[in-house]
Amino acid sequence: MIDQLYHAIFYQPIFNALVWFYNVIPGHDVGLAIILITLVLKIILHPFSVQSLHAQKRMQDLQPKLDALKEKLKGDQQGLAKATMELYKQEKISPFSSCLPLLIQFPFLIAVYSVFRNGLAGGEKMNALYSFIHNPGVLNPISFGLLDLSKPNIFLAILAGGAQWWVSKMLVAKKQPAVPGAKDESMAATMNKQMTIFMPLMTIFIGISLPAGLTLYWLVTTLLTGVQQLYIFRKTQ
């Protein structure tokens, strides 16, 4: 039952959209189809992405006050937990507010992975097409005249890693104002800096093991996320 709902609500619409874009694009370039479907999905999920980015920004701005509480109540875990929850309540912030939008997007990510895996690795499941979508028989994985998107591509993986570094760096680039009692370098800040290195490396490592179509999707969606962050951060300054 759950598999059928997932197939009907997530997988089938995305697969049909991919094939439709492939059919209408001159030259039937699957790379352009992937870029267009990524843009459409980003527009659909834009409200959730914006909510998540706003929550991340507010948590980032709140970090100096959290550091001050940790320094003030060092050794008093119960008092720290209570004071932290009171601070969240006072600032009207939920510590889970940035997680929920990401969880909502998760089924779409799984569906995209399944669509590109089936459509670009020789396992086309054209029986999932709607009756009004033309069946091209197979999807030619060669894109832009030179990239085989059905096979891993280290160049795209490196580009995706670079885009991930840009997005991660943006989140920690803005120095927070000092708060009396807060450490100069909090544990959270240290972890954030480590993530700016770890996440790009992980992206490259995963990218070189996946079909390049998926890596292209990840590159484009990461770049669009970066543009969203630039807009939101500038707007809230």
Lowest mean pLDDT among 50-54, 178-182, 192-196, 225-229: 178-182
Q: Indicate if the pLDDT at residue 148 is higher than 80.
A: yes
**pTM of the full predicted structure?**
0.78
* Host domain of residue 69: 2-235
pLDDT level of residue 107 (50, 70, 90 thresholds): confident
C-alpha distances in angstroms, 16 versus 8, 43, 109, 157?
Answer: 11, 17, 16, 26
Q: Indicate if the pLDDT at residue 94 is higher than 90.
A: no
**To the nearest whole number, what is the mean pLDDT of the chain?**
80
The pLDDT value given to residue 51:
76
- Total count of domains within the chain: 1
Q: Which two tokens stand for residue 139?
A: 């999807």
Q: Please state, in angstroms and rounded to a whole number, the distance separating the CA atoms of residues 227 and 9.
A: 28
Q: Please state, in angstroms and rounded to a whole number, the distance separating the CA atoms of residues 165 and 207.
A: 14
